[in-house]
């Protein structure tokens, strides 16, 4: 079987090469490399795609989280609730800003923040919740919104893996992921569902005053050049990336459909394997499958880990797979407080030993998937 990748950016590029090359060359011709018209146009087009929410472009998804928290005027020592089973970026900037990350265990089926666990972690210092829509499926936003409204907390949605997903409220209203809280953030890292050819990110908000503030903070705290109202940072989406993103945004829904079709192929072919759980689907969110993540049940007490063995066996056939994430955040050295007892997070502990993400991307072929499926059956025997 020819090269199977977790994402195949080259094959994707070749399919849209003409449009991409033209977009890149037009930026070269205009030489408007920073804050050029392509950035403004992309910002407007993404805003339209998201149903009119304000969009503030920035340099990457991690910066977007930082700028969101800075725009909400959180103060040193304020607590921010965050799932402990996510990419480090979500929690890293909380700590970087002198705020305190308070970890919440996740749900074993959805991998997202467990709303049952939120209330008992709330204190007088709690000011915000960052909910992550992990792997492409939204967290339970309706309950999170209720808790936040009741206790006056801000909500930031980390939509880095789920741009294009839709959330459905119990009254039938649907919202784009990232447009429900005070801020949504996203990343255009190449492997995300809307990826550029370098780094990029954006904030999303329905509140104009927050959009203005975020734009100012991302631009050295200035509204007028050389007049700095607040301490900000320098975080820009560059024009070449914006031009690429304008092309790829037009394909995003098509790419999402292709990811969903690939997920269905896996679902049907893998549902009869003992000790293997498919990714769950929930009524309140669709899934955009940035990752297709299965769980391979393994005896937590023994040293042998079936998931790790399956991963190595797949690798011998040239099939890549990834563990997102091998160590929950509460066990990362960077977040462990010396001398204090290690808190227990039973679900994320188990997940870190059992999750396995299989190759999924819009360009994956049926024969590649059939090969992966056949070898996965073998590896699970």
Ligand X SMILES: *Cc1c(COP(=O)(O)O)cnc(C)c1O
Q: Which residues bind ligand X (CB under 6 A)?
A: 60-62, 86-87, 89-90, 132, 158, 160-161, 187, 189, 199, 201
Output the smallest distance, CB 371 to ligand X, in A: 27
- Region for residue 322 given its phi and psi (left: phi exceeds 0; alpha: psi -120 to 50; beta: otherwise): beta
Q: What angle do CA 4, 165, 175 make, to 5 degrees?
A: 175
Which residue's CB is nearer to ligand X, number 187 or number 354?
187
Q: How far apart are the first and last CA of the chain?
A: 21
What the block records as the tokens of 125 is 């210092």
Which residue's CB is nearer to ligand X, number 178 or number 362?
178
Output the smallest distance, CB 67 to ligand X, in A: 12
Which residue's CB is nearer to ligand X, number 242 or number 265?
242
Comparing CA positions, the residue from 172, 166, 150, 158 lying closest to residue 111 is 158
Number of residues that this document lists for the chain: 381
Output the smallest distance, CB 240 to ligand X, in A: 16
What the block records as the tokens of 284 is 């309140």
Which residue's CB is nearer to ligand X, number 60 or number 348?
60
Output the smallest distance, CB 86 to ligand X, in A: 5
What the block records as the tokens of 44 is 């407007």
Backbone torsions φ then ψ of 187, nearest 5 degrees: -125, 145
Output the smallest distance, CB 22 to ligand X, in A: 25
- Residue 326: CA atoms inside 13 Å, Cβ hemisphere, count? 7
Residue number of the CB atom closest to ligand X:
61
Which residue's CB is nearer to ligand X, number 199 or number 286?
199
Give the burial class of 209: count Cβ atoms within 10 A of its Cβ; 0-12 exposed, 13-18 middle, 19 or more buried: exposed
Strand partners of residue 203: 56, 185
Comparing CA positions, the residue from 68, 32, 59, 12 lying closest to residue 239 is 32
Output the smallest distance, CB 169 to ligand X, in A: 23
Output the smallest distance, CB 105 to ligand X, in A: 17
Q: CA 113, CA 116: separation in Å to the nearest integer?
A: 9
Output the smallest distance, CB 160 to ligand X, in A: 3
Which residue's CB is nearer to ligand X, number 187 or number 369?
187
Helices assigned H by DSSP within 85-235: 89-96, 141-151, 208-218
What the block records as the tokens of 237 is 């989406």
Helices assigned H by DSSP within 36-97: 37-49, 61-71, 89-96
Which residue's CB is nearer to ligand X, number 141 or number 270?
141
Q: What is the DSSP letter of 153?
A: -
Output the smallest distance, CB 115 to ligand X, in A: 18
Output the smallest distance, CB 213 to ligand X, in A: 20
Which residue's CB is nearer to ligand X, number 310 or number 358?
358
Q: CA 175, CA 180: separation in Å to the nearest integer?
A: 7
Which residue's CB is nearer to ligand X, number 118 or number 329?
329
Q: CA 310, CA 327: separation in Å to the nearest integer?
A: 18
Q: What is the CA 248 to chain-centroid distance, rounded?
A: 18
Which residue's CB is nearer to ligand X, number 154 or number 325?
325
């Amino acid at each position: 079987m020819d090269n199977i990748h977790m994402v195949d950016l080259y094959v994707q590029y070749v399919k849209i090469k003409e449009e991409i090359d033209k977009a890149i060359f037009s930026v070269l011709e205009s030489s408007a490399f920073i804050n050029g018209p392509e950035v403004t146009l992309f910002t407007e087009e993404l805003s339209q795609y998201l149903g009119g929410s304000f969009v503030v472009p920035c340099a990457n998804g991690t910066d977007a989280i930082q700028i969101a928290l800075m725009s909400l005027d959180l103060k040193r020592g304020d607590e921010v609730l965050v799932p402990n089973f996510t990419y480090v970026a979500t929690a890293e900037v909380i700590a970087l800003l002198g705020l305190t990350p308070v970890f919440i265990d996740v749900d074993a089926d959805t991998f997202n923040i467990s709303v049952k666990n939120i209330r008992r972690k709330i204190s007088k210092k709690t000011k915000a919740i960052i909910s992550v829509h992990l792997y492409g499926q939204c967290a339970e936003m309706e309950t999170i919104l209720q808790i936040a409204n009741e206790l006056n907390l801000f909500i930031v949605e980390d939509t880095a893996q789920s741009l294009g997903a839709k959330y459905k409220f119990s009254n039938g209203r649907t919202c784009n992921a990232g447009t429900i809280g005070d801020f949504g953030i996203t990343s255009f890292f190449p492997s995300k569902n809307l990826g550029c050819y370098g780094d990029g990110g954006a904030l999303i908000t329905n509140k104009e005053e927050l959009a203005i503030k975020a734009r100012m903070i991302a631009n050295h705290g200035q509204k007028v050049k050389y007049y700095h109202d607040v301490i900000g940072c320098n975080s820009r989406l560059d024009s070449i990336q914006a031009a690429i993103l304008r092309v790829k945004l037009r394909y995003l829904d098509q790419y999402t459909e292709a990811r969903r079709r690939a997920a269905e192929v896996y679902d049907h072919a893998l549902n009869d394997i003992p000790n293997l759980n498919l990714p769950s689907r929930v009524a309140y969110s669709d899934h955009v499958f940035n990752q297709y993540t299965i769980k391979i049940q393994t005896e937590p007490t023994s040293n042998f880990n079936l998931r790790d063995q399956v991963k190595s066996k797949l690798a011998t056939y040239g099939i890549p797979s990834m563990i997102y994430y091998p160590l929950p955040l509460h066990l990362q050295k960077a977040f462990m407080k010396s001398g204090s007892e290690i808190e227990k997070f039973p679900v994320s502990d188990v997940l870190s030993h059992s999750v396995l993400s299989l190759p999924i991307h819009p360009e994956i072929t049926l024969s590649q998937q059939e090969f992966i499926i056949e070898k996965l059956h073998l590896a699970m025997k």
